[in-house]
């Protein structure tokens, strides 16, 4: 008898909370570079049998930025520490293909995979916001070019991860052989944007290769995901849109000889939990009342790719010209605003809360009901959880919602394996050279 399909869960960690005013709640730990809080969140996620702990990243800072965008740890440094205090939890981080080099990224994530015993995942991003380029003294590339760069970057990293065969490091003292001859495959990669002509200086990853995550929802982003990604983080705030995205992206996998289950689609999801629906709504209203509109406008301006501070807040959301930035998720926000007749102020409040992701306000049962509906009706393979603040709202989810999902047979009670791939139900990729040698030996 085939096992029932299981929901996948990630915790999207923003130390100050995902709601712009989340850090101001009396029960919130304000955030910042707080290692004790990060350890608590990781321990809670592992206790709740979550698949992964996920960190986004950004390069710019300022007074009006989202509080979680400033005063934060570098993601891979933090995940390396957390690898020593967790045993099953996947450790995922963002790294840009526009403002990095393949060798550095491949080496860092391979190191994390070894440190964690096979739990590393890389969220491949092209960096949407033009202001990030200033930090590196570079001109921000156009949208299409950023995705062309990403395609090359991922391929170069995969070549680097296959630098050594799985059985290369024999370390035979008697023979004096540290590595087996013929097991090194030095990449000779030369693309339009990146060149790599040297191998990685550590053994092949426990997972073969770290899990690849992708978050782009535009046509180029979906095409890249269909070819390269194993998990997709996405942003839909209603079930019909989620079902359309899910079916469309899964259908593209066949073009690359990939099975539908080889890619897990996990929308962002903000639950606001109370013992009663009235209590949950009062909590959300309290957060909204503490909102700094300048910060909210900055977050919305970043999402839309243009300064919205000059528009009337209580007028309908204005028509905006399509731009290099105004793609996929930005268009989804504008379509939602027009469909629901939102004012600019109302859209600011919505984006400040969850940046356009699904928000459910209610009891643990109501939250679980929505998750089950999306999961069973073709909207998601799981969710990337975005609590409004930490640790209380995440603790409430693990203590109150997870047991409901488990009782309904939707979510695991124990981890299936030790690596992230095993727990996600993803195959360990064989080295391309091992496949070639196998064919040659036939």
The confidence score (pLDDT) of residue 69 equals 83
Convert the pLDDT of each residue in 96-132 to its tens digit: 999 999 999 999 999 999 999 999 999 999 987 777 7
CA distances from 126 to 83, 123, 354 (A): 26, 10, 21
At 8, list the tokens. 């996948």
Residue 2, in any domain of the structure? no
d(CA 268, CA 383): 6
DSSP assignment, residue 164? B
How does residue 438 score in pLDDT terms, banded at 50, 70 and 90?
very low
Residue 253, in any domain of the structure? yes
Residue 218, in any domain of the structure? yes
* Averaged confidence pLDDT in the chain: 91
Task: Give the Cβ contact number of residue 21 at 10 Å.
Answer: 23
d(CA 126, CA 128): 6
d(CA 94, CA 123): 4
Query: Is the predicted pLDDT of residue 68 greater than 60, yes or no?
Result: yes
Residue 311, in any domain of the structure? no
**Full residue range of the structural domain in which residue 413 is found:** 8-271+356-441
Share of the chain above pLDDT 90, in %: 72
Mean pLDDT of 229-247: 95
How does residue 439 score in pLDDT terms, banded at 50, 70 and 90?
very low
Mean pLDDT of 268-287: 97
The DSSP H or E segment spanning 428 is none
The confidence score (pLDDT) of residue 229 equals 97
Convert the pLDDT of each residue in 134-171 to its tens digit: 888 888 898 889 999 999 999 999 999 999 999 999 99
How does residue 3 score in pLDDT terms, banded at 50, 70 and 90?
low
The confidence score (pLDDT) of residue 435 equals 55
Residue 280, in any domain of the structure? no
Q: Which of 240-254, 284-298, 375-389, 420-434 has the lowest mean pLDDT?
A: 284-298
Alpha carbon dihedral 167, 168, 172, 178, in 10-degree steps, equals -160
Residue 121, in any domain of the structure? yes
Mean pLDDT of 200-209: 97
C-beta separation of 329 from 356 below 8 A = yes
The confidence score (pLDDT) of residue 330 equals 75
Among 341, 346, 352, CA closest to 301: 352
More confident: 43 or 434: 43
The confidence score (pLDDT) of residue 324 equals 60
Residue 336, in any domain of the structure? no
Domain count, the chain: 1
The confidence score (pLDDT) of residue 62 equals 76
Mean pLDDT of 210-238: 92
Query: Is the predicted pLDDT of residue 440 greater than 50, yes or no?
Result: no
CATH label of the domain that carries residue 210: 3.20.20.30
Q: Any bridge partners for residue 214, and if so which? A: 124, 232
- Spatial neighbors of 103 by CB under 8 A, at least 6 apart, are 160, 196, 198, 200
Convert the pLDDT of each residue in 49-59 to its tens digit: 999 999 999 88
How does residue 179 score in pLDDT terms, banded at 50, 70 and 90?
very high
Query: Is the predicted pLDDT of residue 414 greater than 50, yes or no?
Result: yes
Task: Give the Cβ contact number of residue 247 at 10 Å.
Answer: 12
Among 114, 199, 116, CA closest to 157: 199
Residue 420, in any domain of the structure? yes
């Amino acid at each position: 008898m085939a096992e029932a399909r299981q929901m996948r869960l990630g915790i999207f960690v923003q130390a100050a909370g995902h709601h712009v005013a989340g850090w101001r709640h009396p029960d919130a730990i304000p955030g910042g570079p707080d290692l004790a809080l990060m350890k608590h969140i990781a321990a809670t996620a592992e206790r709740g049998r979550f698949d992964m702990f996920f960190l986004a990243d950004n390069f710019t800072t300022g007074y009006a930025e989202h509080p979680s965008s400033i005063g934060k740890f570098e993601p891979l440094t933090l995940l390396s520490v957390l690898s020593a205090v967790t045993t099953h939890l996947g450790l995922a981080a963002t790294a840009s293909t526009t403002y990095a080099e393949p060798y550095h990224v491949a080496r860092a994530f391979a190191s994390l995979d070894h440190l964690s015993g096979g739990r590393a995942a890389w969220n491949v991003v092209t960096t949407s916001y033009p202001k990030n380029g200033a930090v590196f003294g570079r001109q921000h590339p156009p949208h299409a070019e950023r995705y062309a760069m990403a395609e090359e970057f991922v391929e170069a990293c995969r070549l680097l991860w296959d630098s050594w065969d799985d059985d290369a490091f024999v370390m035979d003292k008697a023979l004096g052989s540290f590595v087996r001859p013929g097991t090194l495959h030095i990449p000779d990669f030369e693309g339009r944007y990146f060149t790599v002509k040297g191998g990685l200086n550590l053994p092949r990853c426990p997972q073969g290769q770290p899990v690849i995550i992708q978050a782009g929802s535009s046509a180029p982003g979906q095409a890249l995901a269909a070819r390269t990604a194993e998990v997709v983080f996405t942003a839909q705030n209603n079930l019909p849109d989620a079902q359309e995205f899910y079916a469309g992206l899964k259908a593209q996998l066949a073009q690359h000889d990939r099975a539908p289950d080889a890619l897990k689609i996990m929308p962002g999801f903000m639950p606001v939990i109370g013992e009663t629906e009235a209590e949950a709504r009062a909590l959300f209203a309290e957060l909204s009342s503490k909102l700094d509109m300048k910060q909210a406008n900055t977050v919305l301006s970043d999402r839309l790719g243009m300064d919205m501070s000059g528009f009337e807040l209580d007028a309908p959301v204005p028509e905006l010209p399509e731009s290099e930035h105004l793609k996929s998720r930005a268009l989804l926000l504008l379509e939602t605003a027009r469909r629901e007749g939102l004012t600019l102020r109302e859209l600011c409040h919505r984006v400040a809360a969850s940046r356009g992701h699904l928000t459910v306000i209610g009891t643990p049962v109501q939250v679980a009901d929505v998750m089950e509906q999306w999961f069973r009706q073709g909207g998601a393979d799981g969710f990337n959880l975005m609590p409004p603040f930490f640790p209380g709202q995440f603790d409430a989810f693990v203590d109150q919602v997870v047991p409901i999902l488990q009782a309904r047979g939707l979510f695991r009670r124990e981890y299936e394996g030790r690596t992230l791939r095993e727990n996600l139900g993803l195959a360990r990729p064989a080295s391309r050279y091992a496949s070639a040698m196998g064919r040659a030996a036939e």
